[in-house]
Amino acid sequence: GQNIDQPTEMTATEGAIVQINCTYQTSGFNGLFWYQQHAGEAPTFLSYNVLDGLEEKGRFSSFLSRSKGYSYLLLKELQMKDSASYLCAVLDSNYQLIWGAGTKLIIKP
């Protein structure tokens, strides 16, 4: 079967750095997405990786290792508004998105 694993919940301090991991086992791979979802709101797109390596976008970076079936989202200079759930999703061989359950990130002052 297809599986996406992420930690259920993480806590970090304002101003610090946090890394959210995602491991996947899917039938084929056509890219990995990270989305942010604030409580009670819709998911919004953060990043897309299809090649190995690090993609940087402001305070957020996303890393992919296809051989290890592994990705992480790195958030720097954490702000209170970064408190949200972070969803990892993989585009499989049928170009369907397979979603992880999400990681709830709690930021403390």
Partner 1 sequence: IAGITQAPTSQILAAGRRMTLRCTQDMRHNAMYWYRQDLGLGLRLIHYSNTAGTTGKGEVPDGYSVSRANTDDFPLTLASAVPSQTSVYFCASSDSSGRATDTQYFGPGTRLTVL
Of positions 42, 57, 67, 81, contacts partner 1 by CB under 8 A: 42
91 binds partner 1 (CB under 8 A): yes
Point out which residues pair with 33 in neighbouring strands.
Answer: 48, 89
89 binds partner 1 (CB under 8 A): yes
Q: Which stretch binds partner 1 (CB under 8 A): 17-25, 28-36, 65-73, 74-82?
A: 28-36
Number of Cα atoms under 13 Å in the Cβ half of residue 34: 27
50 binds partner 1 (CB under 8 A): yes
43 binds partner 1 (CB under 8 A): yes
How many H-runs (helices) and E-runs (strands) does the chain carry? 0, 11
Cα 96 to Cα 30, 49, 85, 108: the distances in Å are: 9, 16, 21, 36
Of positions 11, 25, 44, 79, contacts partner 1 by CB under 8 A: 44
**Residues interacting with partner 1, by CB under 8 A?**
4, 8, 30-31, 33, 41-45, 48, 50, 87, 89, 91, 95-102
